[in-house]
Amino acid sequence: MIELSDDPFIAFAAWMAEAEQSEPSDPNAMTLATCTAGGRPSARIVLLKEWDARGFVFYTNLESRKSNEIAENPHVALLFHWKSRLRQIRIEGEVTAVSDAQADAYFAGRPRHSRIGAWASAQSRPLADRATFEADFAAAFARFPEETTPRPPFWSGWRVTPSHFEFWQDQEFRLHDRITFSLTASGWQKGRLYP
């Protein structure tokens, strides 16, 4: 049986720290599930770049499919799955944009090629062939020859402010342990679920 802090953010910090010690790559990888206003879901892997008690932040093109769906329906779900630790954390919440200052600060710290790639990619839109993208990248590289590349106006971050957590730990014979945290008017309510 697992025991967790009564604060889901402290519990998350503990599990993330352990995942960072054991996961072979990208322990900050999380599935992001979005949904259109009409109820059509989609999911993809994104990387958690920042987090604190206000929520979980990832960055992307604001004209991408995920951003368009967030604009239609700000309710999303996140899933961290750490196979080496036989654990997962599900998070449900609402998305808001990060500040321009926060996005600028994060973007400035990215490798130069990643910053240029943000300018070159029309993320989620049709691409005729790889050569077209490579030409777009070369054009953006020539446009911004200096080390300092500004953040594109169509690129920023989203913060998921959680209202629900579920911590899942694999147990023998599929008698898994599931601990939930639901946000109420008086704070986080902790509970358990049958596996």
Tokens of 78: 């996140």
Reply yes or no on whether the pLDDT at 177 is more than 80: yes
Domain 8-107+153-193 top-level CATH class? mainly beta
Contact 168, 176 (CB under 8 A): yes
User: Distance between CA 100 and CA 5 in Å, rounded?
Assistant: 33
Q: What percent of the chain has pLDDT over 90?
A: 75
Q: Say what the pTM is.
A: 0.92
Which amino acid is present at 28? N
pLDDT of residue 15: 96
Q: How many helices (H) and strands (E) does the chain have?
A: 5, 9
Reply yes or no on whether the pLDDT at 12 is more than 80: yes
Question: Other C-beta atoms within 10 Å of 192: how many?
Answer: 11
Q: Residue 90 catalytic?
A: no
Catalytic residue among 54, 130, 174, 178: 174
Return the higher-pLDDT residue of 51 and 25. Answer: 51
Report the pLDDT averaged over residues 2-28.
93
